[in-house]
Amino acid sequence: MPDSDMHLVRVDHEKAEYYAAVPPGSTHVDVSVYDVAAKVKGIKTEDDVYQMQTDAQGLHVIESFFVDNSSTPPRTQYSDHAYVFTLPPGAQIDGGQAAGPQGMPISSTPVPTGEKGHYAFVFPLRPGQTRFAVSYSLPYSGKLTFMPQESLPTDNVAVMLPNSMTFTPDAGGLFQPVHDQSVPAQTFVAKNLAPGQKISFTVSGTGAMPRSMQDQSGGQQSGAAAQSAQGAQGGQGMPDTATSQGDRPGGGLGTPIDTPGPLHKYRWWILSAIGLLLVVAAAFMLRGQPAGTAAVPVEPEPSPLTPTVVTAEDTVRAAQPATPAAKPAAGYTAAPAGTTGLLQALKEELFALETERVEGKLTEAQYAEVKAAVEVVLRRALSRRS
């Protein structure tokens, strides 16, 4: 590429899109493609992770999915319902991301399937691990019950929430607390769920995820965590030292999982999702209506996390902005107020990113991936300001 910006190459094969990052100065890039089918055997959800916090507008959730495709022979699953999941009633989608195996995140907003509460990511499930994240808001009166339904066999469903909030599992006893001193938040995990299996949990109270969570992604690895994290992209281990049960809200739920939790190998992705998708949610809120003004839905803009994409069939042809898979479900009214605060938050994020790089907490690949995404948001915010 002749310029100094990070680009993506997109290759279309049997209607499925494949992406690969193109660092500045690169002259070629290899993109693997596979035969495509609407349904492929050998696909499961490794982890479904909820991250929650509240503010004056309600409950905000970032839900991340880690999907493993171990099909034999290797094939891509792709259709209008490539990956289906459920959202609680009243959920308003703020934005979404998707990333293929060893790929950087791109904007990908889930779309309704036609069945109440069901949504789908229209993104190819290639052999290997595909990662999805969706940010949404919910009306909240101080207590809310979730009843998720997994569409695939699922190894773990995890819920992360501030220590000031309370987690109440259903009577089935599936959820167990995960104790980890390095994460200043509560985590509860249910294991080995079948498709459609009924589970529920209730959250209550208020609180925000501490910003320090974004500053701990380079924590030390203990032996078991380090072994499990080998080969996982950007994986960061978690210490296996448990906090005392009395120090954590929601205690008394059962025997805590004191060994490294099932999410440690995805820790960097989860932490980056907190930072990047909360920036997206903040952008939507900053463009929201002033108090006392009736909301007027308007045509949504593409997510500010959309990177520059180079499309290709057999060779790279030209650079153009990426097109999201769908438009956000929730409309908003654009307003310039709040841009200064967003710019300040982005500057702080870049400063924290550079600090972690100097301290050796991030690999060069992790650093380049996050910086490219944050810089896209920063450039868009600056262009709006001018």
pLDDT (0 to 100) of residue 226:
32
What pLDDT score was predicted for residue 348? 64
Residue 24's pLDDT band, with cuts at 50, 70 and 90, is confident
The pTM assigned to this predicted structure is: 0.61
What is the mean pLDDT of the segment spanning 328-352?
Answer: 52
Cross-strand partners of 160: 51, 187
pLDDT at residue 288 above 50? no
- Asked if pLDDT for residue 306 goes beyond 90, the answer is no
Higher pLDDT residue, 187 or 106? 187
pLDDT at 273: 56
Residue 98, beta-bridge partner list: 106, 132
Is 15 a residue whose pLDDT tops 90? no
Q: What mean pLDDT, rounded, does the chain reach? A: 70
**How many angstroms separate the CA atoms of 65 and 386, rounded?**
37
Beta strands in the chain (DSSP E): 7-13, 16-22, 36-37, 43-55, 58-69, 76-77, 83-86, 92-99, 106-107, 111-112, 118-121, 128-138, 143-146, 154-161, 166-169, 176-177, 186-193, 201-204, 308-312, 316-321
Question: What is the model's pLDDT at position 179?
Answer: 81
Query: In this predicted model, what pLDDT tens digit does every residue of 354-371 receive, in sequence order?
Result: 666 666 677 777 767 777
Q: Which structure tokens are listed for 258? A: 């004191």
Q: What is the mean pLDDT of residues 52-59?
A: 91
Question: What pLDDT digit, counting tens, does each position of 206-219 carry?
Answer: 998 876 554 443 33
Tens of pLDDT along 111-125? 999 999 999 999 999
